[in-house]
Structure 1
Amino acid sequence: MKLLPLYYFTCFLFISNFVNCFSQENTTSSNLLTTKQDGLLNNWFQKDELQDSIPGISLDKWYKQNKKVSKAKEIIVAVIDTKIDLKHEDLQNQIWINTKEIANNGVDDDGNGYVDDRNGWNFLGYKNGGSVVWNRYEFVRIVDEWGSLFKDKTESEIVIQEKHKYLEFKRAHKLLDDENKFYKNWLKSLRHHVDVFPLVKDTLKHFFPQEDYTYQQLDSLYNKYKINDKSYGKRRNDNDKDLGALIFYMMVSLEVGQRTFEDIKQQEMLLDSIVNKSLSIEYKDRGLNEDQQKFLKKVSGNNNVNTTVFFKSLEENHSTMVSGIIGANRSNSIGIKGIAQDVKIMPIVISSHGDEHDNDIAAAIRYAVDNGAKVINMSFGKEFSLHKKWVIDAYKYAEKHNVLLVHAAGNNGFNVDENPYYPSDVDYENPDEVVENFITVGSISQKIDSNFVSEFSNYGKKNLDLFAPGDKIYTATAGNSYAYDSGTSLAAPMVSGTAALIWSYFPKLTAKEVKQIILESGTAYEIEVLIPGGEGKKAKFSELSKSGKVLNVYKAMELAEKVSKK
């Protein structure tokens, strides 16, 4: 899971070159948009296309017509993700409790191999209660682990059995080189920003003694005082400190939510960690212990799944946002309304800054299955997978136990039929699906026009199953708050919540049937849309996913009732 969206870095990278990237929108679920509710926008995804002219999932329509339905069965939804805000007001009574486990007595009361797992498990945890903060990206691990096999070799020197592995190594090596170059340049630019920021603040006090300026006021000041000569539009060097440049520095800072020197220093610290940890061959993140190397079912960790760090741009928000969409309390008249009321969220932690380990992914799936989850939400992903077989075996374990897996398609804006994105129900060496209990979800916006598919969303006629709303979604965030955010990470829990709702009323359906119901009942849109990352190219919306549809709760519940009667 990457720390921040690429555009966020790009804005800062070119500060000293006066590149204006303010028109860009947030494209991942790690950069929050606002905490202000905005009328209809804050629940647009729950609306109905025919009744409201908004391409939502028709959730409100179903609830309005089913106010007197009999009590539903409680469904456990595992959220494999980051830590979660267990004390959030809108998640009270919605978190799974392992009733067979006595809290914090240091004993594995239920004998499941996990001591004191009262609310879930943290596979990144240490015995002292702490947790892994930084992981390397998977492509760095591949370059490190396979370097001795393939370094300095040409394709002609590789035996046929190792050809795919060799090509993955080359792809990983290229990405590592590109990312290192980009982030090191960004870090250099940010450090200049740190140096000049005190001067910026001091200069602006002349115009705003109370430092109460807004972006619009700075923009007016910038246009008034900027140097009006032919050389002004040219790129400047890092020592440029004229008044226009100083004003522009603060405009950029305000646009990306960094008003204080402490904000800038924190960002410098985070970026330094990306360069020197997540992208470093030398940095050794938590390695595999002896049990993990043998890939036994039980792995290390602790029971600390609760986040206590509330930075609005960090991953600590992620699980809370995802869980809020699935199961925020619908009856407490505060905050938001989740898709399904009769759910319990099972938090399972495997995500930190960097990429998830395949052994953690597999172990988390098995933990969820063994402890009663019917739906597993996986709003994380990576472009490489070092141990795909471990993960695929876990899929099959879930399939055997009639558990549905739901995965976010990713925010790279590419075709997942051509560009690998993991975890996936295909292994890309053999493109056939390995299981029938896996749904991959892309993101749409509220605009029924050429911008219907979110510009950041991955897509694929073969490997992406359907779309759901994932653009400007209002949801719960850590620190007992709420915010808008965007990303396929928020589209996937729409499907997970719908699956839980279906099962809560029709518990005899199989995971395969629930998947088919969700795909078949979606709403079709006969429009042409811009292909994400396609540089202006268009395609029929129906050609960007297997179903060619958008999630529709109302139709899914109707179809589920028909199928269950059969």
Structure 2
Amino acid sequence: MTKTLSISLFALLASSAAFAQAPTQAPDNWFNLDPKLDKVQGVSTEKTYKELLKGKKYQSIVVAVIDGGVDTTHEDLKSVLWKNSKEIPGNGIDDDKNGYIDDVYGWNFIGGKDGRNINHETMELTRLYAPLATKFKDGKPLDASLQPEYEKYLKLKSDYEKEFNETKERYANYEGFLQQLNKINSMLKMQLKVEKLDVATLSKVNTGDENINKLAGNLKNMLEANGSPDLDDQIEKLGEAVDDLKGRLDFGLNTTINERTIVGDDPTNSSERYYGNNDVTGPDAGHGSHVAGIIAAARNNGIGMNGVADHVKIMAVRAVPNGDERDKDVANAIRYAVDNGAKVINMSFGKSYDYDKKAVDEAVKYAASKDVLLIHAAGNDASNNDTVGNYPNKNFISGGSAANWIEVGALSWKSGEESVANFSNYGKKTVDVFAPGVDIYSTVPFSKYKSNSGTSMAAPVVAGIAAVIRSYFPKLTAEQVKTIIVNSTEKFPTLQVVAPGAEDKKQVKFSDLSITGGVVNLYDAVKLAATMSKK
């Protein structure tokens, strides 16, 4: 959940907490760098290929990205995309008879047969609350048998109103600050006669107006605190935050809309399998393309950036809108990926409420039965997943948990007390490992690149590690790969870090934020895999 901002302009500019994630620029491609060689907590990707994997035999494997869409034309992704060799593109026939017509690059479970696609969706909280709000609009029911349902309604009503009011307030604050920042940007550029307000330019400001000098200094501090190259970049990031909040108000928390009519299925029927279309890019492939690039963007091709894994094909499965995904779609996306050959599935999404967890649980068990490893992002609410609802998760409602599941928290590239991303969810019982997730540079639509932060970025780093292991050590099972990844983490038993979300800078033991208390490392994982594969 995004923090509420102060509406005091100078307070915002002077505070490193306004949007802060890093005091200086993140090192290029830092998630692939080595802690010892490069002095940053990357996963040692380049060192691993150079020292351990050079000349080794491998098998190409398929990694499914269940997300909001993947740009299939991206210069750094098009060569690593999975293609269904049994399907003849564009002939309108289900050639491989798997129930999905023309599924060349994967499948889209949030699209309609007429080619339209869902972009924005409601939150699960809204979908649970809206029908009960209608049912109990006249207040407490006289029928005693309805009392349990009424109590559920009251809880959801409280949660919904709290979420709505907080989102509305945040939107107003963010939008107000954005407007002020745009005015300052234009005014300063004009007065200083410059085209760009970056740290170097702002550092040299020394006019006869102390207010301008102070403003320039505060802007410089803000850019340094957020790792932004210039004020235009900072404004763009803030604009995206404003758009996200507006989308949540207009769609996510809107009790009157029903975008699901686009798909034309019965959203309450989780047993329904064959719906959607073959448009795996959809209207907004920014998030999914970024995730795909972290896993497997073409390595050493002289453009863009390097993904973690080589010899991998990315299968795109679209099931995540701007809003909350539906359990039915998640379950079907997992099953589709498994049935079409994926050995690792990345799931960089999540929500606070569930609708049909049983359907998702059954799909996870199905993946386990087919030796498929699932990697899931822990979430970005700075919450303890041990005590707060976070779905999907590895714990089955029938008891027990998935042994083929890895839950991932986000690590900053900074060291010491600021090692953990301030937004990352955590959990001594629920989160398995931490991985790089702040200022991760990767692919976005139209053959462009961008730095994003989130556990959504940390999960594909782990998915990439899993893919490397499954590629070079194909006899190892999904459970063995999980064991290797969690047992090869680098531990920091004495490290004290600022607790995620702690505005007072309260510190906790890093070892208490996850089950392993460790950070993933490809180099150590490959060494352990080599040992295990000989047994």
> Letter of the aligned partner of 1:322 in structure 2?
V
Number of residues of Structure 1 aligned to a counterpart in Structure 2: 519
Deviations 1:455-482 (A, max 9, x none): 1111111100111111222222222122
Q: Is the 8 A contact 2:499 2:508 kept in 1?
A: yes
Residues 369 and 483 of structure 1: is their aligned pair in 2 closer, same or farther, counting only changes over 3 Å?
A: same
* Correspondence for 2:353 among 384, 405, 410: 384
1:281 corresponds to:
255
Please name the residue that 1:506 is paired with: 473
Counterpart check, 1:464 vs 2:419? no
Q: Is the Cα contact below 8 Å between 1:292 and 1:299 reproduced in 2?
A: no
Instruction: Indicate the residue corresponding to 1:85 in structure 2.
Output: 71
Alpha-carbon distance in structure 1 between the residues aligned to 2:455 and 2:373? 18
1:293 to 264, 268, 283: 268
Q: Distance in 2 between matches of 1:383 and 1:391?
A: 15
Q: Secondary structure at the match of 1:78?
A: strand
Is 1:14 aligned to residue 17 of structure 2?
A: no
Cα offsets for 1:149-176 (capped at 9, x unmatched):
777559xx7899x59x956x55543332
Structure 1 residue 483 displacement after superposition: 2.3
Provide the rounded CA distance (Å) in 2 between the counterparts of 1:531 and 1:153: 42
SS of residue paired to 1:139: helix
Structure 1 residue 369: deviation in Å?
0.6
Shift of the alpha carbon at 1:177?
1.3
Q: Please name the residue that 2:191 is paired with.
A: 207
In 2, the alpha carbon distance for the partners of 1:198 and 1:395 equals: 47
Map Cα deviations across residues 54-99 of structure 1 (whole Å, 9 max, x no partner): 3221222221113543331111000001121212221132000001
Contact 1:459/1:544 (CA < 8 Å) preserved in 2?
yes
- Tell me, yes or no, if structure 1 residue 452 matches structure 2 residue 448: no
| In structure 1, distance between residues paired with 2:193 and 2:515 | 58
Compute the displacement of 1:187 (Å): 4.9
79-88 or 370-379: which moved more?
A: 79-88
- Taking the aligned partners of 1:498 and 1:196, their CA distance within structure 2 comes to 43
User: Structure 1 residues 447 and 274 mapped into 2: Cα distance closer, same or farther (>3 Å)?
Assistant: closer
CA distance in structure 2 between the partners assigned to 1:290 and 1:324 by the alignment: 32
Residues 118-197 of structure 1 mapped to structure 2, 5 A cutoff? 118-147=104-133, 166=151, 170-188=154-172
Question: Cα distance 1:23–1:145, how it changes in 2: closer, same or farther (>3 A)?
Answer: same
C-alpha distance in 2 between matches for 1:139 and 1:219 = 50
Q: Distance in 2 between matches of 1:222 and 1:181?
A: 43
1:58 aligned onto 2:44: yes
CA RMSD of aligned residues (A): 3.8
The equivalent residue for 1:338 is 307
Instruction: Report the Cα distance in structure 2 between the residues aligned to 1:294 and 1:341, rounded to whole angstroms.
Output: 39
Give the secondary-structure state (helix, strand or coil) at the position aligned to 1:80: strand
C-alpha change, 1:411 and 1:192, in structure 2 (3 Å) is closer
Q: SS at 1:93's partner residue? A: helix
Which region of structure 1 is more displaced relative to structure 2, 200-209 or 78-87?
Answer: 200-209
Q: What TM-score comes out, normalization by structure 2 length?
A: 0.85
Report the 3-state secondary structure (helix = DSSP H, G, I; strand = E; otherwise coil) of the residue aligned with 1:560.
helix
Q: After alignment, is 264-273 or 382-391 more displaced?
A: 264-273
Letter matched to residue 466 of structure 1: V
- Within the candidate set 501, 504, 522, 1:533 is matched to 501
Question: Where do 5+ consecutive residues of structure 2 fail to align?
Answer: none
The answer (yes or no) to whether the contact 1:57–1:554 under 8 Å persists in 2 is: yes
Q: Is the 8 A contact 2:281 2:318 kept in 1?
A: no
TM-score scaled by length of structure 1? 0.80
> 2: CA distance between counterparts of 1:264 and 1:546?
34
8 A contact 2:34–2:42 mirrored in 1: yes
* Residue 520 of structure 2 corresponds to residue 524 of structure 1: no
- 3-state SS of 1:90 partner: coil
* Amino acid in structure 2 at the alignment position of 1:96: W
**Separation (CA, whole Å) in 2 of partners of 1:482 and 1:195:** 26
Comparing 277-286 with 265-274, which one deviates more in the overlay?
A: 265-274
Q: How does 1:252-267 map to 2 (within 5 A)?
A: 255=231, 257=233
Q: Structure 1 residue 225: deviation in Å? A: 6.8
Name the SS of the counterpart of 2:260 in structure 1: coil
Partner AA of 1:528 in structure 2: Q
Aligned twin of 1:71: 57
Residue 304 (str. 1) matches residue 279 (str. 2): yes
1:435 maps to 402
Tell me the residue number matched to 2:534. Answer: 565
Equivalent position of 1:317 in the other structure: 286
223 and 500 in structure 1: CA distance in 2 versus 1, 3 angstrom threshold: farther
Q: Within 2, Cα distance between the matches of 1:329 and 1:98?
A: 19
Distance 1:266 1:6, change over 3 A: closer
